[in-house]
């Protein structure tokens, strides 16, 4: 596996691959890798000739009071995992490389970037779309792989790709979970054992909603109420949002008639966790 730390090196390596007529797949990450990330790498491996990944803890998607400085970092171990999965190119730039002094240009998906997580994390999606646009320019992939875990991120990125004519095919991979339902997340490392137990309530609430949907319930208010009732079983877990929305526009849906996103975000202690399920 080649590790590239400058945009120029990354672009040269990627262009060499594509000059050979090979299909380049790309998996962007913030590191602290787990099976969720590796599932994206495996999907990329299957769908592309050469796989590039990136590890970059993107400062611009963290709010001033968020966990940027303490975000888990495990570069050596991440490299071993990626190498083990057959990743050929790893882009691991510094913050200065990605954001040289004087950079003032942003990519903002208007409207969408203020919904769901964008409401409670102002500026978050602007940071995400800006960094992914920059990563796409550095790697110029044919196909890029993202997790359904971050459903609102997927909506923002799809819209960006459409609006800015990126020649990148987006592939979205299913959420990888622990045996008890908790969605894998680098932030799960923050949880102590009691919080780890409490955190199961997010996936439990979503499962309850999915079960009600399967029994024929189509009224979003009723489904959301069922989810909130489960969330209330763990009073120490502070609900940020529980919403039933269109997966593309992220606007609330009243009656479920097509695949619809049920999404939840909650604080377990100081740790903000998200999860979702598609109904229908």
**What's the CA gap between 146 and 76, in Å, rounded?**
23
How near is the Cβ of 43 to ligand AMP at its closest, in Å? 10
Nearer to ligand AMP, 4 or 172 (CB): 172
**What's the CA gap between 29 and 78, in Å, rounded?**
10
CA angle 58, 185, 107 (to 5 degrees): 30
- Asked if 183 and 149 count as a contact pair (C-beta separation under 8 A), the reply is yes
Q: CB nearest ligand AMP: which residue?
A: 147
Distances (CA, A) of 41 to 100, 101, 140: 29, 32, 17
How near is the Cβ of 34 to ligand AMP at its closest, in Å? 7
Q: Does the active-site annotation cover 124?
A: no
Nearer to ligand AMP, 4 or 40 (CB): 40
Smallest CA-to-CA distance from 40 within 53, 55, 21 is with 53
Q: Are strands 89-91 and 237-245 parallel, antiparallel or unpaired?
A: unpaired
CA 50 remoteness from chain centre: 22
- Asked if 210 and 217 count as a contact pair (C-beta separation under 8 A), the reply is no
Nearer to ligand AMP, 19 or 70 (CB): 70
Nearer to ligand AMP, 69 or 215 (CB): 69
3-class DSSP string for 86-117? CCCEEECCCHHHHCCCCCCCCCCCCCHHHCCH
How near is the Cβ of 69 to ligand AMP at its closest, in Å? 16
How near is the Cβ of 28 to ligand AMP at its closest, in Å? 6
- Catalytic residue among 34, 37, 124, 137, which? 37
Nearer to ligand AMP, 32 or 212 (CB): 32
How near is the Cβ of 157 to ligand AMP at its closest, in Å? 9
- Positions that interact with ligand AMP (CB under 6 A): 29-30, 36-37, 39-40, 146-147, 149-150, 173, 175-176, 183-186
Residues 228, 112, 247, 124: what is their CA dihedral angle, to the nearest 10 degrees? Answer: -60
How near is the Cβ of 49 to ligand AMP at its closest, in Å? 21
3-class DSSP string for 6-42? CHHHHHHHHHHHHHCCCCEEEEEECCCCCHHHHHHHH
Nearer to ligand AMP, 228 or 267 (CB): 267
**Catalytic annotation, residues:** 37
């Amino acid at each position: 596996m080649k590790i590239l730390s400058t945009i120029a090196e990354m672009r040269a390596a990627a262009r060499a691959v594509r000059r050979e007529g090979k299909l380049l797949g790309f998996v962007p990450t913030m590191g602290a890798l787990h099976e969720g990330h590796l599932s994206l790498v495996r999907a990329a491996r299957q769908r592309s000739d050469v796989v590039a990944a990136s590890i970059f803890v993107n400062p611009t998607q963290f709010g001033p009071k968020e966990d940027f400085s303490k975000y888990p970092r495990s570069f050596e171990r991440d490299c071993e995992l990626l190498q083990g999965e057959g990743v050929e190119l790893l882009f691991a730039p510094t913050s200065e490389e990605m954001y040289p002094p004087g950079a003032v240009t942003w990519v903002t998906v208007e409207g969408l970037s203020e919904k769901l997580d964008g409401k409670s994390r102002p500026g978050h999606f602007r940071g995400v779309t800006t960094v992914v646009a920059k990563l796409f320019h550095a790697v110029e992939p044919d196909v890029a792989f993202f997790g359904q875990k971050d459903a609102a991120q997927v909506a923002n990125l799809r819209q960006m790709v459409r609006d800015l004519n990126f020649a990148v095919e987006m592939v979205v991979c299913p959420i990888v979970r622990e045996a008890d339902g908790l969605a894998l997340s680098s932030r799960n490392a923050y949880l102590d054992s009691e919080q780890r137990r409490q955190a199961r309530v997010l996936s439990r609430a979503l499962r309850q909603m999915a079960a009600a949907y399967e029994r024929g319930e189509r009224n979003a208010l009723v489904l959301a109420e069922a989810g909130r009732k489960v969330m209330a079983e763990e009073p120490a877990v502070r609900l940020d949002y529980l919403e039933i929305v269109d997966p593309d526009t992220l606007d609330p849906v009243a009656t479920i008639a097509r695949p619809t996103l049920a999404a939840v975000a909650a604080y377990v202690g100081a740790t903000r966790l998200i999860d979702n399920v598609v109904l229908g």
